[in-house]
Structure 1
Amino acid sequence: MNTIQLIAACALLAAATAGFSHENTGHHGHTDAAPQQQAWGIAGDAARATRTITLRMTDDMRFAPAHFSVRQGETVRLRVENKGQVLHEVVLGTQASLDEHAAMMREQPGMEHGEAHMAHVKPGRKGDLVWHFNRAGRFDFACLVPGHFEAGMRGSFTVTP
């Protein structure tokens, strides 16, 4: 490969990966798109949150608590605290949606993503995820940073009618 080809290849690689970062500590870590109904609920209005549940994430690849319960119709602020030394996240979903997202993260580990049902939190920081639990059932949450999900960094929540 000559110098011109090498420079072109580097420029193409830089352009293709620009903006691809898993670190996002925004309030919700999502764009300003209209809230999307999910099987496990919809983005909530912080002013309507009736309580706060703290989820702690640690480098032993665990959440504390690993399970929480809410009532259907309740809007809750999930305060996500990263007590570890590496980036962690919480993503709400179904087992199938989390499995699918984890597979995408393994294929594209630097993929930038952010939705209302996830919060990316840098080490030693806190983030909030406000969610309106308008669908009853048992659902899941996980850290989908490559390797964390596979190490067992997951939990569940129950929405009771």
Structure 2
Amino acid sequence: MNRCLKLSALILGFAGMITVSPAMAHSEQHTAQPSAAVVKEQKPWGIAGDRRQITRTIEVGMSDQMRFSPDQLEVTQGETIRFVLRNEGKMLHEFVLGTRTELDAHAAMMIKFPGMEHDEPYMAHIGPGQGGEMIWTFNQAGDFEFACLIAGHYQAGMVGRIRVLAQ
């Protein structure tokens, strides 16, 4: 009898993990805190930054009016920026760096698969009333964007621009 109860508890626990996991894809599972093992993959808009090389801090607010504040940024090629992110709203928001093409493609995937799990060093998911940070090195000059790609947010205009000036 005791063995049967343990087996039932194990099965229920496993079923609970399967049921909860997809629903948490964009909830508390993603924090904007730096992780110990950040994969540094070169992107057209830069590479994950190192905390010891931060040259400047930029604060960015996110609102339920589907806006970033500020929504226009200018940095110099080679700068490592610490983004301090504040979600001033009552719903989850994201801060995702990229090119217009990359963000358009990712936004389309988010509409198709709203619960998809993703976690890259160039994206931060910030819960309602929460804050977080992202550290990024802009080692490529050009015009890039940041956006909230949660279904409907991007389409409502939750987009900002970053101009990276050549050294």
What are structure 1's unaligned runs of at least 5 residues?
1-10
What's the secondary structure of 1:97's corresponding residue?
A: helix
**Number of aligned positions between the proteins:** 149
Which of 49, 53, 59 matches 1:44?
49
Aligned position for 2:144: 139
State the Cα deviation string for residues 22-76 of structure 1 (Å, max 9, x = none): 1211414x78353100000000001210110011000000000011010000101
Aligned position for 2:156: 151
Q: Is the 8 A contact 2:38 2:121 kept in 1?
A: no
Which of 30, 33, 39 matches 1:27?
33
What's the secondary structure of 1:112's corresponding residue?
A: coil
Which of 88, 110, 116 matches 2:121?
116
Aligned residues: CA RMSD: 1.9
Distance 2:37 2:26 in 1: 18
Q: Is the 8 A contact 1:44 1:130 kept in 2?
A: yes
Compared CA separation, residues 85 and 16, structure 1 to 2 (3 A): closer
Runs of 4+ in 1 over 2 A off after TM superposition: 14-20, 30-34
Deviation at residue 111 of structure 1 after TM alignment: 0.9
Aligned position for 2:76: 71
Compared CA separation, residues 126 and 158, structure 1 to 2 (3 A): same
What are structure 2's unaligned runs of at least 5 residues?
1-13
What TM-score results when the alignment is normalised by the length of structure 1? 0.86
Aligned position for 1:95: 100
Q: Is the 8 A contact 2:62 2:68 kept in 1?
A: yes
Q: Sequence identity, in percent?
A: 47
Compared CA separation, residues 159 and 48, structure 1 to 2 (3 A): same
What TM-score results when the alignment is normalised by the length of structure 2? 0.83
Q: Is the 8 A contact 1:31 1:114 kept in 2?
A: no
